[in-house]
Amino acid sequence: MYGGLRAKGEKPDLALVTCDVDARAAGVFTTNMVAAAPVLYCKKALDESKMARAVLINAGQANAATGDAGYQDVLECADTLAMILKLKREEVLIESTGVIGQRIRKQALLNALPKLVSSATPSTEGALSAAVAITTTDLVSKSVAIESQVGGTNIQVGGMAKGSGMIHPSMATILGVITTDALVKSDVWRKMVQFAVNRSFNQITVDGDTSTNDTVIALASGLSGSTSISSINCDEAVQLQACLDAAAVYGRNPNWGDIAAAAGYAGVPFHQNNLRIMLGDILLMHNGQPLAFDSELKRHLRLELVTILGRLVRPMAA
């Protein structure tokens, strides 16, 4: 929704993600030494608690390089939202994006919180609206939702992210929220999220800058009733990790680099110059060299069944 943090008449600037139960929480953050106030707050909250129930995201002001005053703004916003939702402060996480050096328009945000909470809805429309609200210079909003199985039980994984400029490895200048109803032990969930971020956001570069606000927060509610994932190496963990990895395909994102990365950690020794990748009947990589692709590739991604083929032209001897 629009809360008055952006200039009047612009697009929505507030988004809220909530969970009906205590969710296992994981976070990955910027390595920039000038970490924003909400980053410092979230890192402390996740150090103190393995659970979270809400993520508040604002656009307009980054609340970075704002000193103690900016940090106090975060605490007041977290306290107010926690009071409205009847939660503890540490169960509320906050992400901010916008102009660095500007504090949050705190009073506008605080005034908007009751309406934001009352208007929250578990619908596709609500999810799409939230994905728009967190964007800044993005040309399009970015969100995805997929269904799969873990241990024979249907589970869902959803996510939204923003990022356009200042994109660089080490978090890629991303704000993101990932949710799933799979049941995962807290320590395992945190390892899985870190692994997924390393293979995705930590491999993107556009202009060589790393932001002060990079944050990916992931919540796992366990409401699906799936088998509890208690080890990073168990079959269920492999299935859930595949769901996170599959988001690029189901999001209609022709980033075959993820496929190459998956081949690289599959445990089969090979030289990358021998790798050949196809999506359907379209050749994307040959002899380790990327090939140009067009709209025909996206047509394949709209199919219900997507066939991905990776082949080693000359495998290395064992």
Check residue 202 and report its DSSP letter.
G
Query: 173 among the known binding-site residues?
Result: yes
Check residue 208 and report its DSSP letter.
S
**How open is the CA angle 147-54-232, to the nearest 5 degrees?**
50
Sheet of 282-286: strands edge to edge? Answer: 289-290, 282-286, 275-279, 308-312
Catalytic residue list: 173
Residue among 215, 138, 219 nearest 170 (CA)? 215
What is the sign of the dihedral through the CA atoms of 26, 156, 158 and 112?
A: negative
Tokens of 234: 């168990």
User: In Å, what is the CA distance from 275 to each residue of 284, 286, 290?
Assistant: 10, 6, 10
Query: 142 among the known binding-site residues?
Result: no
Query: 121 among the known binding-site residues?
Result: no
pLDDT for res 221 = 96
Spans in the chain with pLDDT lower than 70: 9, 138-139, 164-173, 202-210, 244-268, 272, 279-281, 292-318
Residue among 121, 153, 164 nearest 15 (CA)? 121
Q: What is the pTM (predicted TM-score) of this model?
A: 0.74
Tokens of 158: 């959803």
pLDDT for res 234 = 77
* CA dist., res. 289 & res. 270, Å (int): 15
* CA dist., res. 146 & res. 105, Å (int): 35
Phi, psi of 158 (to 5 degrees): -130, 160
Check residue 195 and report its DSSP letter.
H
Number of Cα atoms under 13 Å in the Cβ half of residue 163: 29
Phi, psi of 61 (to 5 degrees): -130, 135
What is the sign of the dihedral through the CA atoms of 141, 110, 51 and 39?
A: positive
Residue among 253, 242, 251, 188 nearest 218 (CA)? 188
**Domains defined along the chain, listed by start:** 14-251 (3.60.70.12), 256-310 (no CATH)
Q: Are residues 210 and 166 in contact, defined by beta-carbon separation less than 8 angstroms? A: yes
* CA dist., res. 302 & res. 123, Å (int): 22
User: In Å, what is the CA distance from 214 to each residue of 53, 136, 162, 217?
Assistant: 20, 14, 10, 10
Check residue 224 and report its DSSP letter.
T
pLDDT in tens, 28-42: 998 777 789 999 999
